[in-house]
Amino acid sequence: MKQKQPILRKEIVSGKLLPANELIRVVKTNDGNVFVDSDKKANGRGVYIQPKPEAIQTAKQKKLLERSLKTKIPSEVYDQLIVEINENWD
């Protein structure tokens, strides 16, 4: 039987294609809300980032999330990403 290919998504810091289940998704909805999508099913424009503190720091310094989502990113979103990593990723 043929094996399923993993779903690949482009990670914004490295630009590499990685399996979606190894990445965190940040979403901007139509009304402009930006949040961490732990279920990876929310409607809106999604951006994927590796669950590493250094990747989040690089994205914040280079404003990669702001550029990809075409909006200002509040610092609470970066705090949410750190909490998400600490709680759900080892």
Residue 66 lies in a domain: yes
Cα separations in angstroms, 55 against 9, 41, 68, 81: 16, 22, 15, 10
CATH number at residue 24: 3.30.1230.10
Residue 20 lies in a domain: yes
Q: What is the pLDDT along the chain (90 residues), one digit of tens a residue?
A: 788 899 999 999 999 999 999 999 999 999 999 999 989 899 999 999 999 999 999 999 999 999 999 999 999 999 999 998 998 876
Residue 1 lies in a domain: no
Please tell me the total count of domains within the chain.
Answer: 1
Residue 83 lies in a domain: yes
Residue 79 lies in a domain: yes
Domain that holds residue 31: 8-88
DSSP character at residue 4: P
